[in-house]
Amino acid sequence: MTLIAQLSINGAPLLIGDVLLSSERRTGLKVTLPLVGNINEVLARNGQPFEVAFAQKVNVLSDRLVVAWSGPMIEAERALGALSQLSNHPNHDLNDIGSELTAIHDQIAHLQLVGTLLGDAQGTMRAAHCFTLGVKPTTIPSLGTVFVAGKGRDAFLTLLGKSNWTNSGTGNEFQIAHVLLGALTNEEYRTGRTILNKWGGGFEAVTCSQLTGHFEKVSDILHTFWKMREHDATSLALTPMFYKTTYWRDALIIRSARLEEASTDTYQLSSNDLVLIPPLLKQVGDYDINEFAGTDFSYRAICCHIITEKSDNRDLILFVEQREHLRHFTFELEASSGRLHISSNLTNAIIDEARTRQ
């Protein structure tokens, strides 16, 4: 689904966007990594620009300004280019943003924007000022006013209305973003259209950290896929694919792996890929891949997407674990082998979550 959204989590702004381009293409960088060995040695010599149907819809233009866009990419480039130049001027405000967009109104007639401009810092807290272009507000009881656009608008509003996402104030902005991004990926997985399918969707988010007072992309999320039969805990099995979203500087990195069954309960690595997607206003050539230190499959949050087979249909469950310093899913590539370890703590937690849904 195409989607941009802006909401507030415990006073912190949260912007979400998909990474799918409906009909346009832009240049990314793809590296097919070795199935074993030192991946960092091949990044520089094997990375090749290629046409991707992905783009960063959520763009951090400065430490004060972030914008998410939906619509024609060429119009988004015009609008974000103007706002990026404005962001270099000191003391710009919402009136300045409105003037810049009004000046090019005829050139961005089909574009929708949601954005946040941060005010002056008071400690680590900063006032967040919202602005939009062509996006109407909607009220969600647990969240207040939200702004949502794109073909996925109705589905996302339905998703927001199902739960109290602020969790009575006990979840911070990053923890709630992890669950929201997992829930959106679940909706794509329901139709088989995840980002691993190359023609499916994926999502990214940015929030203002209440610890630093700066915008930060929500990073290091590992998505794993599972299946099980209803009322049969022993049937839980990992679908042999997973991917991680992270960032290098301001480039989106998608690290993915697929496994294939070599024999009963034995799998071998069949693909090992890394994709780099620049922000809208940058190109692959702006990055020196020699400076990239590589990325593994460690995570800040793991989203487990579980298909439960029932007698008459099937259900899709989401379980999110956010124990950053106690990881129960590890996949490591060493000099001559790969190793996958899944703790029983994780599988038992998935089974318990499935039982609560039965």
Paired tokens of 176? 């709630």
Rounded distance between C-alpha atoms, residue 144 and residue 154, angstroms: 17
* Structure confidence at residue 209 (pLDDT): 80
* Structure confidence at residue 39 (pLDDT): 42
CB atoms within 10 A of CB 255: 21
Q: At 90, is the pLDDT very low, low, confident or very high (cuts 50, 70, 90)? A: confident
Q: What is the pLDDT of residues 100-132, one digit of tens each?
A: 999 999 999 999 999 999 987 665 567 899 999
Rounded distance between C-alpha atoms, residue 17 and residue 55, angstroms: 10
Domain boundaries of the chain, sorted by first residue:
1-19+54-218, 36-49+219-358
Q: Buried b / exposed e across 261-288, counting CB within 10 Å, b at 16+?
A: eeeeeeeebeebebbbbbbbbeebeebe
* Average pLDDT taken over every residue of the chain: 83
Residue with tokens 């998505």: 223
Give the lowest-confidence range in 49-58, 145-154, 293-302, 341-350: 49-58
* Structure confidence at residue 121 (pLDDT): 65
Strands 232-248 and 203-208: unpaired
First to last CA, the chain: 28
Q: At 164, is the pLDDT very low, low, confident or very high (cuts 50, 70, 90)? A: confident
Rounded distance between C-alpha atoms, residue 314 and residue 358, angstroms: 12
Residue 335: pLDDT over 50: no
Q: Which residue, 35, 262, 16, 246, is CA-closest to 143?
A: 16
Q: Do residues 94 and 131 make contact, with C-beta atoms less than 8 angstroms apart? A: yes
Residues 180-193 have a mean pLDDT of 82
Rounded distance between C-alpha atoms, residue 222 and residue 132, angstroms: 31
Q: What is the pTM of this model?
A: 0.87
Q: SS in 3 state form for the chain?
A: CCCEEEEEECCEEEEEEECECCCCCEEEEEEECCCCCCCHHHHHHHCEEEEECECCCEEECCCCEEEEEECCHHHHHHHHHHHHHHHCCCCCCHHHHHHHHHHCHHHCCCCEEEEEEEEEEECCEEEEEEEEECCCEEEECCCEEEEEECCCHHHHHHHHHCCCCCHHHCCCHHHHHHHHHHHHHHHHHHCCCEHHHCCCECEEEEEECCCCCCEEECCCEEEEEEEEECCEEEEEEEEEEEEEEEEECCEEEEEEEEEEEEECCEEEEEEEEEEEECCCCCCHHHCCHHHCCCCCCCCCEEEEEEEEECCCCEEEEEEEECCCCCCCEEEEECCCCEEEEECHHHHHHHHHHHHHHC
147 Cβ contact partners less than 8 Å away, ≥ 6 residues apart: 5, 6, 7, 114, 130, 132, 135, 136, 137, 138
Residues 157-186 have a mean pLDDT of 80
Q: What is the pLDDT of residues 243-285, one digit of tens each?
A: 999 999 999 988 888 887 666 556 677 777 888 888 999 988 8
* Structure confidence at residue 193 (pLDDT): 62
* Structure confidence at residue 84 (pLDDT): 97
Q: What is the pLDDT of residues 203-243, one digit of tens each?
A: 999 998 877 788 999 999 999 999 999 888 899 999 888 89
Residue 159: pLDDT over 60: yes
Residues 144-155 have a mean pLDDT of 92
Percent of the chain with pLDDT over 90: 44
Rounded distance between C-alpha atoms, residue 267 and residue 155, angstroms: 36
| 282 phi, psi to nearest 5 deg | -120, 165
Residue with tokens 């969240």: 143
Lay out the sheet containing 301-309: strands in order across.
Answer: 48-52, 26-32, 266-277, 251-263, 232-248, 221-229, 301-309, 314-321
Residue 24: pLDDT over 80: no
* Structure confidence at residue 91 (pLDDT): 87
Rounded distance between C-alpha atoms, residue 63 and residue 82, angstroms: 16
Residue 37: pLDDT over 60: no
Q: At 341, is the pLDDT very low, low, confident or very high (cuts 50, 70, 90)? A: confident
CATH fold, domain 1-19+54-218, is Glutamine Phosphoribosylpyrophosphate, subunit 1, domain 1 (3.60.20)
Rounded distance between C-alpha atoms, residue 34 and residue 72, angstroms: 36
Give the lowest-confidence range in 39-43, 152-156, 348-352: 39-43
